[in-house]
Structure 1
Amino acid sequence: MEGLKVSNANLTVYIHPSKSNQVSQAVLRELSSLLFTFSEIVDGVVLAYDVNSLDTCAKILSGVHPYFGVKLKVNFLLFSPKPNTLLEGKVVKLTEDSIQVVVLGFSAAVIAEKDIREEFVWKMKKGHEVYASRSNKRHVIKVGTMIRFLVKSFDEEILHVYGSLIPDHTGSIHWLDKNLEVVSHADRSEKKKRIQPERVMLEQDAVDGELSTLDFVEKRTSAKRQKHLEES
């Protein structure tokens, strides 16, 4: 899935003097406060972190409450969905007006009716609301379906994604993956069919007076027949 990335950052964490004897715990507490919030420093929602190194030489800041800064190197796992990237999520609610999705278990996404391609039609099926494809009856989106959709925009403050199912490569992940395998297999078979006639034609043609494969086979067959007659 797109929208996930790893970022390496050099940070300075400022610790209160009262925590001077618990620097590691204080640093981890500060980093934990960043989890599942959007950070402009690393340009993404922090999902996880791993501290690579921690400088024990702290620099004391002057002031009424002299905090001290601790330098460290951190690897962040970020959720940073950009417009026109693909995300995957689970459908949690479906109405005639929209499809609501949860991404990675924490970020809400909504796909409005205007952003659902005309191929899909809303209908009631066995007492449940679904979006069913006109072109393939097995391509159905319902509550619980994992879907792949395009990002239109991302609200960094409330971690809300606005998505789209307009492109053909969006929809039910199960159906898309299975359909792509079938198409890929059909393409490979078609390529083999196209290649074989070309090879036969090349083998049959004579270039600049040289014998073609068929000419060679015919002459070798004639020689064998002549040899057989002479032995008889």
Structure 2
Amino acid sequence: MEGLSVAKADLTVYVHPSKANKVDQAVRRQLSSLLFTYNELFDGVILAHEFNFKSKHAKILPGLIPYFGVNVKAKLLVFSPRPDMLLEGKVVKLGKESIHVIVLGFCSAAIMMEDIRQEFKYKIKGGYGTFVSLAHKRHVIKAGSMIRFLVKR
């Protein structure tokens, strides 16, 4: 799928002195706090991380509580859709004027009526809304369908 990329980064993670004997756990927790949030530095949403320590040495920061900085090499899986990218998602809701889709299980998108191809018409079948193709009778978009769409903005 377009929009997914791997970013390699050299990071400095600051660890509280109480976690000095569990540095691996503290770094993992700090990196996990970045997951599923937009990060301007990577220009996308971080979905996963993997890291290695660059060295066994740490830099102590002066202050009231002397945190120490650990240098880490990280590989991050980043989701950053751009205009004209092709994405795939699962339809969760249909309305007369829109199709609501979940991409990668966490990101929502709405496809408005003006962006839906003209061959699709909204109909109610069995109490549920569907978009039915006028060109191909078996081509139906309903809740639970997987669709591909272009990112507009």
Is TM > 0.5 for Structure 1 vs Structure 2? yes
AA partner of residue 117 (structure 1): R
The DSSP-based 3-state class of the residue aligned with 1:77 is strand
Aligned residues between the structures: 153
Percent identical across equivalent pairs? 59
Q: What residue number does 1:8 align with?
A: 8
Once the two structures are TM-superposed, the CA of residue 103 in structure 1 deviates from its matched residue by 0.8
Alignment deviations for residues 158-208 of structure 1 (CA, whole Å, 9 cap, x no partner):
xxxxxxxxxxxxxxxxxxxxxxxxxxxxxxxxxxxxxxxxxxxxxxxxxxx
Aligned to 1:117: 117
Tell me the CA shift for residue 38 of structure 1.
1.2
Q: 1:9–1:42: 8 Å Cα contact kept in structure 2?
A: no
Counterpart residue type for residue 151 of structure 1: V
Unaligned runs of 5+ in 2: none
Would you tell me which structure has more helix in proportion to its own residues? 1
Distance apart, 1:40 and its partner CA: 1.6
- Cα pair 1:94 1:142 within 8 Å, conserved: yes
Q: Which residue of 1 aligns with 2:78?
A: 78
Note the 1:118-157 alignment, pairs <5 A: 118-153=118-153
Q: For the Cα contact (< 8 Å) 1:16–1:68, is it kept in 2?
A: yes
Q: Structure 2: how far apart are the matches of 1:53 and 1:151?
A: 37
Aligned runs of 1:189-228 on 2, under 5 Å? none
User: Which of structures 1 and 2 has the bigger CA Rg?
Assistant: 1
- Partners of 1:52 and 1:75 within 8 A in 2: no
- Residue 66 of structure 1 aligns to which amino acid in structure 2? P
Match of 2:28 in 1: 28
User: What is the Cα-based RMSD across aligned positions, in Å?
Assistant: 1.3
| Partner SS for 1:118 | coil
Deviations along 1:44-94, whole A, 9 cap, x unmatched? 211111113342210011222221110010111111111110110000100
- C-alpha deviation, 1:127, in angstroms: 2.7
TM-score, length of structure 2 as denominator length: 0.94
TM-score, structure 1 length as denominator? Answer: 0.63
SS of match in other structure, 1:55: strand
Counterpart Cα distance in 2 of 1:44 and 1:26: 24
Instruction: Name 1:99's counterpart in structure 2.
Output: 99
Alpha-carbon distance in 1 for matches of 2:37, 2:103: 15
Question: Which letter maps to 2:55?
Answer: D
Q: Which amino acid aligns with 1:67?
A: Y
* CA–CA separation in structure 2 for the residues paired with 1:43 and 1:55: 28
The AA in structure 1 aligned to 2:85 is T
| Distance in 2, Cα, partners of 1:117 & 1:129 | 17
Once residues 76 and 67 of structure 1 are traced to their aligned partners in structure 2, the CA distance between those partners, rounded to angstroms, is 24
Distance 2:140 2:52 in 1: 46
Partner of 1:47: 47
Displacement of 1:125 in angstroms is 2.2
